[in-house]
Amino acid sequence: MENVMRWEELSDGVIQKGVKLNPGEAAKPAAARGIVLIANGERDRLRVDFLLRSLQKAGYTGSIVTIADEGKAGFESRWYKTQLDRFSPFEETLFLDADIVAMQSFNEIWDYLSRGELWMARDMHTQLGHALGDKTSRANSDERAETRALCDSAQPFFNSGVILFHKTEAVRTFFDQWHTEWARFRNVDQFAAARSMKTTGFAPSELPRRYNHPLRRYRQAPSPDVTFLHCWGYPRKRYPFLVTPLLECPAPAVAP
């Protein structure tokens, strides 16, 4: 993939086809569609290396833009994620978390944009109330309480590891509100997204689970239908041992 940057070319800021932009500067117009990744910090770089290898194996040859800002690692990377509409140079964008692994060709995913302007898959906690009750979440008690007071517990709860969108005014409004909500607590981003959906009245269309399938479930019940595996929650030292075998498996045959 000629548009994939080598890590030695990366430094603080946004990298676009070998051009370094100042931190916080929006990317310039490029191809009509492409993939955006965030690799802020050494852990993300390790994971994005595996992601790039999986994209190549899956046959992806399109444009890729990587955001790399060492000053915003960890949860601070959400500063960029919640402003993807601004930092993506593409009219049609597929955002993938660093811990995503592509299992097969995904050219058909772009077709969803003919039926909706923003797409995300549901989280393992499919409803907001279930997520708010998960004690393992890193959201603090104040954010939980405010989210619970504002939103319906039965509200669909979306995972932000895979985001497909077309730049429209409604999408811009959603991202603006998402960023505002996230910046209040500067922690996890999915509760902020839920509050943004409630306040704007705008919610994503729902991608099928195969486009954001948890590795934990895949290890229990492997499926050839999975397109993107989401390998979140695993420590850095264990990550290569989990992901490498996935890259060594033959890719499923692509239907003609």
Interval 216-246: pLDDT, tens: 999 999 999 999 999 988 888 899 999 999 9
Cross-strand partners of 118:
165
pLDDT of residue 27: 53
pLDDT of residue 12: 37
- Dig out the tokens for 220 from the structure: 């229990």
pLDDT of residue 30: 52
Sign of CA dihedral 154, 118, 1, 69: negative
pLDDT of residue 94: 98
pLDDT of residue 136: 77
pLDDT of residue 28: 53
Which of these CATH numbers, 3.40.50.2000, 3.30.420.40, 3.40.50.620, 3.90.550.10, describes 7-127+156-248?
3.90.550.10
**CB within 8 A of 144, min separation 6: which ones?**
132, 137, 191
Which pTM was predicted? Answer: 0.88
| Domain limits, the chain | 7-127+156-248
Q: For the chain, which ranges sit under pLDDT 70?
A: 1-31, 250-256
Cross-strand partners of 21:
14
pLDDT of residue 26: 53
Residue among 161, 171, 21 at smallest CA distance from 91: 171
